[in-house]
Amino acid sequence: MLTCREMTELMTDYLEGRLTFGDRLRFQLHLGTCRHCRAYLKQMRHGIQTLGRLPDQPIPKELEAELLRRFRSWKKSS
């Protein structure tokens, strides 16, 4: 049986159909017994649907540069 932590780690692979048959079966068995993981899966699906409706808009160059600067400084400090 999978733990809830393992479930969250496998969620993207499950949604993208990348789990093996055995892993998918264990995933679905856990879903059948855990309302928290079912709720998390529902939230993930809702997020995917919502993001899929957003229009493609380029990130302003200034914002992109600032995000990259912050990411690089974060990576150095971790």
| pLDDT above 70: residue 72 | yes
HEC string for the chain: CCCHHHHHHHHHHHHCCCCCHHHHHHHHHHHHHCHHHHHHHHHHHHHHHHHHCCCCCCCCHHHHHHHHHHHHHHHHHC
State mean pLDDT over 51-58: 82
pLDDT value at position 31? Answer: 97
| pLDDT above 60: residue 15 | yes
pTM of this prediction? 0.67
Q: Cα–Cα distance between 45 and 25 in angstroms, integer?
A: 19
CATH number of domain containing 48: 1.10.10
Domain that holds residue 43: 4-77
Instruction: Judge whether 50 and 37 are in contact, CB under 8 Å.
Output: no
Q: Cα–Cα distance between 78 and 73 in angstroms, integer?
A: 9
Confidence of residue 73 (pLDDT cuts 50, 70, 90): confident
Number of structural domains the chain divides into: 1
